[in-house]
């Protein structure tokens, strides 16, 4: 296992700068997600860490040692990609054994050692009974598990995954990322997991690196980035959020008819502001309990599962609001579409 340090890494293609002087430290044994929209530079950064692409400036340091000039083969990294082509004409067993068999003669393990190693990996990815199948006889999820076993066969110290479950359907993806998390806990390795899916990153990672236009917006645990987003980009990218436009003056925030105490970090200046309110941070009630509540009309209710999603329209300015409440609250208030209710943010950021 190794730590990874990305130091002052930049990359320009023709005139387009894909990465701007990135700095990042990944600790030994961590599973870090690189999260960002399409085109934000995730794959480019992963390829530079892998040694598949040279950076224009900066360095890649493994365990304190500069690896920038080293080839991919010398970096002890394993990969899994979204469309990882398993060899079609080889069985699952042969696919996993491949990386060991093609080693130079003096590093190549004996036949029996290879057999044992492949058995262990098949057990690790829970696919023992499929050893003799061909890739075409596997589901997409099974193929990605084999791709992972194959990547692990050469005992890499770093595992690099580029949207490994991106091509699979939602249910399988969810199962696989839980499975990957468990596997990572059992298997000593440092992993970098690229995804554009917020939920996937929040679910699987020890820490999340949020990339946008080739720059790091924030690095933190899932809780840190979700609860304390560093800026509006992160706030928006990590989940549903309501934007309310308004004004701040003398320590008060005015969002239309809604008056709130300004949060401490906001200072006491006077300015036009945008406030961000998560759907689950909004309280809902049937009576106007005075200052601090806004009236809104419910126009859509989605009551599937334990969380009920409501869409409402403010009566004072026609802005839309999304609210999430528990099924219990929903039932106790007996909410219906077209009904008028009153809302108040429990928590918000400006």
Q: Which of 4, 42, 81, 158 binds ligand ADP (CB under 6 A)?
A: 42
Does 43 sit near Mg ion (CB under 5 A)?
yes
Q: Between the CA of residue 154 and those of 3, 66, 77, 293, what are the distances in Å? A: 18, 22, 9, 61
Among 2, 5, 41, 152, binds ligand ADP (CB under 6 A): 41
Angle at 47 (CA atoms; ends 158, 90), nearest 5 degrees: 70
195 interacts with, out of ligand ADP, Mg ion, none, CB within 5 to 8 A per kind: none
Of 213, 207, 214, 177, nearest in space to 192 by CA: 207
Q: Pull the structure tokens for residue 203.
A: 């679910």
Backbone angles phi, psi at 86, to 5 degrees: -70, 155
Residue at token pair 């080693």: 103
How many residues sit in the footprint of ligand ADP (CB under 6 A)?
A: 11
Of 160, 155, 157, residue with least CA distance to 109: 155
Which lies closer to ligand ADP via its Cβ, residue 41 or residue 78?
41
- Which of 223, 286, 255, 257 shows the shortest CA–CA distance to 348? 255
Select the residue interacting with ligand ADP from 2, 4, 26, 44 (CB under 6 A): 44
Q: Is 36 a residue that touches ligand ADP (CB under 6 A)?
A: yes
Q: Which residues pair with 314 in a beta bridge?
A: 296
CB of 72 to Mg ion, least distance (A): 18
198: contact with ligand ADP by CB under 6 A: no
195 lies in the binding site for ligand ADP (CB under 6 A) = no
Number of helices (H) and strands (E) in the chain: give both, helices first. Answer: 9, 19
Judged by CB under 6 A, which of 9, 40, 146, 160 binds ligand ADP? Answer: 40
Q: How far is the CB of 134 from ligand ADP (least distance, A)?
A: 30
Residues numbered 280-319 forming contacts with ligand ADP, rule: CB under 6 A: none
CA 307 to chain centre: 22
Q: Between 13 and 299, name the residue whose CB sits nearer to ligand ADP.
A: 13
Name the residues that contact ligand ADP, by CB under 6 A. Answer: 13, 16, 18, 36, 38-44
């Amino acid at each position: 296992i190794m730590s990874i340090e990305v130091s002052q890494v930049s990359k320009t293609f023709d005139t387009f700068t894909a990465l701007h002087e990135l700095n990042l430290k990944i600790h030994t044994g961590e599973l870090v997600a690189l999260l960002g929209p399409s085109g934000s530079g995730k794959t480019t950064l992963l390829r530079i860490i892998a040694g598949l692409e040279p950076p224009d400036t900066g360095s890649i340091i493994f365990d304190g040692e500069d690896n920038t000039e080293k080839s991919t083969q010398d970096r002890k990294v394993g990969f899994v990609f979204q469309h990882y082509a398993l060899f079609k004409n080889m069985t699952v067993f042969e696919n996993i054994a491949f990386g060991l068999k093609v080693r130079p003669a003096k590093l190549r393990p004996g036949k029996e050692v290879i057999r044992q190693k492949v058995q262990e990996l098949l057990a690790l990815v829970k696919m023992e009974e499929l050893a003799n199948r061909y890739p075409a006889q596997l589901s997409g999820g099974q193929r990605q598990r084999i791709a992972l076993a194959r990547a692990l066969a050469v005992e890499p110290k770093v595992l690099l995954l580029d949207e490994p479950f991106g091509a699979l359907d939602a249910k399988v993806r969810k199962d696989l990322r839980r499975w990957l998390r468990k596997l990572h806990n059992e298997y000593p390795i440092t992993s970098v997991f690229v995804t554009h899916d917020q939920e996937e990153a929040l679910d699987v990672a020890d820490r999340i690196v949020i990339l946008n236009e080739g720059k790091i917006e924030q690095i933190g645990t899932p809780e840190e980035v979700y609860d304390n987003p560093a800026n509006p980009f992160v706030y928006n990218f990590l989940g549903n959020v309501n934007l309310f436009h308004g004004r701040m003056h003398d320590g008060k925030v005015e969002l239309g008819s809604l008056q709130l105490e300004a949060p401490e970090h906001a200072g006491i200046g006077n300015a036009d502001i945008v406030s961000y309110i998560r759907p689950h941070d909004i309280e809902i009630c049937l009576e106007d309990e005075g200052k601090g509540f806004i009236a809104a009309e419910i126009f859509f209710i989605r009551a599937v599962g334990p969380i009920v999603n409501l869409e409402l329209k403010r009566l004072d300015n026609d802005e839309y609001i999304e609210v999430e409440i528990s099924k219990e609250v929903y039932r106790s208030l007996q909410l219906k579409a077209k009904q008028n209710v009153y809302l108040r943010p429990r928590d918000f950021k400006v």
